[in-house]
Structure 1
């Protein structure tokens, strides 16, 4: 499970050093792709395969499903971290997420997310007050 918030930097070659706590789960390979809210999603290969199988069940007659699958998969890159735990983020993905040198890498359960540090701070500031005020059962059982 991916948990926590980390603030690594992107180097001049577009590489990110993965948080040490995430490395064991991603050591055999990972997939980076576009996520919602202009962040990047990072999945272990096994989790990405599970998600892809779910996508295969979507109706091909649904334009919304076709559009989502195209955007999601066309931006996906597979990587294997090097010995220092570094992975390269493709230029198109860096552009999509507006990444510069300062990043926020967060754990989101079954995936990690990569955000520009400024975008994450803005998002978190907006969402924290709503989170604190939540008085409904948004997630069953919590």
Structure 2
């Protein structure tokens, strides 16, 4: 499986449409045929998945025991606002208004590729999030990845 790569500054037009940057579009060959799905992120941002990746995620969600309230709540919150997106003839996507309001998106956005998904942030919120980078990133890497048994060079 390939992962998305890149960080892109984009602008929305007056109708809430955004042109997909050409270098990102090249990474989304199935998007025109299969479509994309957008939903809320865990922080105040949005997340775009390919339809194939979304189907994998919802497949995992469908295995949860929905007789347990925490799991039902998680599924509700995670899928809240999930919407299929499609590219128009000008390679633009239209963001749903409710999701834009949730993420505080107005005109300037940052698309941040994160492995199997593309995060969509209001530019100000993304800059604030990235300004919180730990002073010693190496310590965070050790905490998160140190016991994984492999390094980044493996």
Q: TM-score, normalised by structure 1?
A: 0.91
Residues 71 and 133 from structure 1, CA distance in 2 versus in 1: closer, same or farther, beyond 3 angstroms? same
Instruction: Mark the runs of 5 or more structure 1 residues left unpaired by the alignment.
Output: none
Compare 41-50 and 21-30 and name the one that shifted more. Answer: 21-30
CA distance in 1, matches of 2:84, 2:20: 15
CA distance in 2, matches of 1:83, 1:107: 23
Aligned pairs for 1:11-30 (under 5 A) are 11-24=13-26, 25=28, 26-28=31-33, 29-30=35-36
Aligned CA RMSD, in angstroms, stands at 1.6
CA distance in 1, matches of 2:133, 2:113: 16
**How many residues get paired?**
142
Out of 121, 130, 134, the position equivalent to 1:124 is 130
Deviation at 1:131, TM superposition (A): 2.7
Q: Which whole-Å deviations, capped at 9, do the CAs of 1:56-77 have from their partners, x for residues lacking one?
A: 0111122222112112223111
Out of 108, 118, 121, the position equivalent to 1:112 is 118
SS at match of 1:123: helix
CA distance in 2, matches of 1:5, 1:131: 19
Q: Which has the larger radius of gyration?
A: 2
Alignment partner, residue 142 of structure 2: 136
Residue 2 in structure 1 maps to residue 1 in structure 2: no
Q: Which whole-Å deviations, capped at 9, do the CAs of 1:8-52 have from their partners, x for residues lacking one?
A: 001110111122222241333100000111110100000000000
CA distance in 2, matches of 1:63, 1:19: 41
Residue pair 2:6, 2:24 contacting (<8 A) in 1 also: no
Deviation at 1:125, TM superposition (A): 1.1
| Consecutive aligned runs of 4 or more in structure 1 exceeding 4 Å deviation | none
Residues 68 and 130 from structure 1, CA distance in 2 versus in 1: closer, same or farther, beyond 3 angstroms? farther
